[in-house]
Amino acid sequence: MKKVALITGGTRGIGLGIARELGTKGYSLALNGVRKEEEVKSVLLDLERNNIEAIYCRGSVGIAGDRKDILQMVREKYGQLNVLVNNAGIAPRERNDILKASEHSYDEVMGINLKGPYFLTQSVSNWFIEQQELNPEFRSCIINITSISSTVASTNRGEYCLSKAGLSMMTKLFAVRLGEYGIPVYEVRPGIVATDMTSGVKEKYDKLINEGLCITKRWGQPEDVGRVVTCLAEGTMPYSTGQVVMVDGGLTLPRL
C-alpha cells in the first residue's frame, strides 16, 4: 500500500514543491489549503498528469473544526496517514514595527502558524500511535517547516518570527514525547525561497543575494525544500529526531 502524506498549505509555494517531490516517490497526497476547490483544480490536474494521486482537504489549520474535518477527509479517502508536513503559514497582513504591531495581527499569525500546527500534530500523533498499535510494522514521521526567522530577528514582523520560533520548540517537544513510539519529528528551516509570500520583496533580495547574502548565490526554490522533506520522510535519518535541517543556501552561516 502506498504511503500517505498530509501537507498543510500544500497547493502553492513551498508546500506544492514538497507535494511534487513526495508524489514522484510514490506517495499519495492530501493537500490542505483555504482556497476554494475550483481555484486548486489546475494543481490537482497537473499532479494527476504526472501520475500523482492527490486530494484537496480545504480548511484552516487555525480552526479546530476544520482540523477535524481535514483529518476525516484523509481517513475516508486513504484510511491511513504516514507523514504530516506542517507547512501552512502566513505573514502579517501588514509589516509593522513591533512598537506599533496590533494584537489582532499577532493572534491571526500565531493562530495559523503555531496554534494550528500544535493541535493538528497532537491529533495526528494519536492517530499514528493507533496505527502502530494495529500494525507494528507501521512507520510514520512529522516534519515541521519553519523559517530562518526562528532565529533571525525582523522587527517589522515580530509575530511571524515568534510563531516560527515556537514551531521550532514544538519540534523538540513532540520529538521527545513520541520518542518511545519511534516516531521521528524533524524541523526543516528554509531561507529565502521564491514563492508568492516573497514576491513582494523580490527586488530587495535580488540585490542582497547578488551582493553575497547567501553562500549559494541564488534564491531557494520550493523543490529545494521538497527534496529535503522527501529524504526525511523516506526514513533515511531516523536517528536524527528533533533536529533542524537548514535549507538556506548558507545564509545563516557566520562569516568574517
Whole-number pLDDT of residue 201: 86
Domain that holds residue 200: 4-247
The answer as to whether 239 is a domain residue is yes
The answer as to whether 254 is a domain residue is no
From 95, 76, 89, 155, select the one nearest 116 (Cα to Cα). Answer: 89
Distance CA 165, CA 8 (A): 18
Whole-number pLDDT of residue 160: 98
Number of domains in the chain: 1
Nine-digit cell at 152?
A: 533571525
Whole-number pLDDT of residue 104: 97
Average confidence score pLDDT of the chain: 97
Is 232 strand, coil or helix? helix
The answer as to whether 122 is a domain residue is yes
**pLDDT tens digit string along 195-221?**
988 888 899 999 999 999 999 999 999
The answer as to whether 102 is a domain residue is yes
Whole-number pLDDT of residue 199: 83
Whole-number pLDDT of residue 162: 98
Whole-number pLDDT of residue 1: 80
- Widest pairwise Cα distance in the chain: 55
CATH number, residue 94: 3.40.50.720
Terminal Cα distance for the chain, rounded: 51
The answer as to whether 253 is a domain residue is no
Query: What are 144's strand-pairing partners?
Result: 86, 187
Is 6 strand, coil or helix? strand
Whole-number pLDDT of residue 230: 98
Can you say how many angstroms the Cα of residue 52 is from the centroid of all Cα atoms in its chain? 19
Whole-number pLDDT of residue 159: 98
The answer as to whether 255 is a domain residue is no
Residues of the chain with pLDDT under 70: none
Is 187 strand, coil or helix? strand
Grid coordinates 492530501 are at which residue? 30
Whole-number pLDDT of residue 200: 83
**pLDDT tens digit string along 58-72?**
999 999 999 999 999
